[in-house]
Structure 1
Amino acid sequence: MVNRESLKRPHEGLDVWQRAMALVELIYACSSKFPDAERFGLTAQIRRAAVSVPSNIAEGAARRSTPELLRFLSISRGSLSELDTQWRIATRLGYIKPSADIDEHIDDVFSMLTGLMNSLQARGSAR
């Protein structure tokens, strides 16, 4: 008999994963307005970076060890910084107007990732 709890997706319960998923939706909507010439350039890069954020959170959550989770959260935070830079490039190039909503999502996810990482590290060093 299969334990139903073992089938649960551990990342879905993480607020940071949910917020990162919302950020992906915003990035896809905004990047659809980029010039056609950027389809294989900045559009593809910014979307890959956006998708990488919740993907790495999910992969880390599925690993079942705190060091592995921390490693993937760190990768996720790196992807988020990459996304932030690409977003700023797109606005500087005039492809899109600055968006307080996207900036807020990026800031929130960064803070949430940092908080979760700090909490996990503190819990690990308390042992």
Structure 2
Amino acid sequence: MVKELVRKHQDLEIYKMAFDMAMQIFELSKKFPVEERYSLTDQIRRSSRSVCANLAEAWRKRRYEAAFIAKLNDCVRGACRRQAEAAETQTWIEFSVKCGYLDVEIGRELYGTYNQILSGLVNMINHSESWLMKH
């Protein structure tokens, strides 16, 4: 199998997966009750989008390993003591299922995909040297 050349963050499979999940969550959350607009709906959309935004920023910081890893950690753990963005999204998925806004099976699929995203991010952190820009 030939590894495809990654020229920009949008070429990363993990980014594509996270972006697709953010868009799927956006579409699904359109059906949430109006009273959730400023709470659950905003939170799940924000955290799912933040994974993509932090990954894009990490990609731009590949010249310096510490900066690259720090930004990837924001995707996984979150900054300023927030929960991990991907893990936070999983929590909002759980709430959405328990509140009856998402079907259990859809919730399981979304949650499982976020496990794959978390795994991919951790793998990038653990093998950061292979992603860095050459000086």
Name which of 16, 41, 44 aligns with 1:43: 41
Distance 1:71 1:103 in 2: 24
TM-score, structure 1 length as denominator? 0.83
Deviation readout 1:14-52 (Å, 9 max, x if unpaired): 211111111111111111111010011110010000000
SS at match of 1:40: helix
Q: Tell me what 1:66 maps to.
A: 65
| Stretches of structure 1 lacking an aligned partner (at least 5 in a row) | 1-7
SS across alignment from 1:94: coil
Classify 1:123/1:55 alpha carbon distance in 2 versus 1 (closer, same or farther; 3 Å): closer
Q: Distance in 2 between matches of 1:71 and 1:10?
A: 19
Q: Which runs of 4+ in 1 moved over 3 A?
A: 121-124
Rounded Cα–Cα distance in structure 1 between residues aligned with 2:131 and 2:42? 38
Aligned to 2:121: 113
Considering only CA atoms, is the larger Rg found in Structure 1 or Structure 2?
1
Scaled by the length of structure 2, the TM-score of the pair is 0.78
**Partner SS for 2:127:** helix
Looking at structure 2, the residues matched to 44 and 97 of structure 1 have their Cα atoms a distance apart, in angstroms, of 19
What is the RMSD of the two structures over their aligned residues, measured on CA atoms? 2.2
Query: Which structure shows the higher helix fraction?
Result: 1
Task: Map residues 74-89 of structure 1 onto 2, 5 A cutoff.
Answer: 74-77=73-76, 78-89=84-95
CA distance in 1, matches of 2:122, 2:13: 13
Q: 1:41 to 1:112 in 2, by over 3 A?
A: same
Aligned-residue identity in percent? 26
Equivalent pairs, count: 117
Of residues 29, 32, 52, the one that matches 2:30 is 32
Match of 1:33, SS?
A: coil
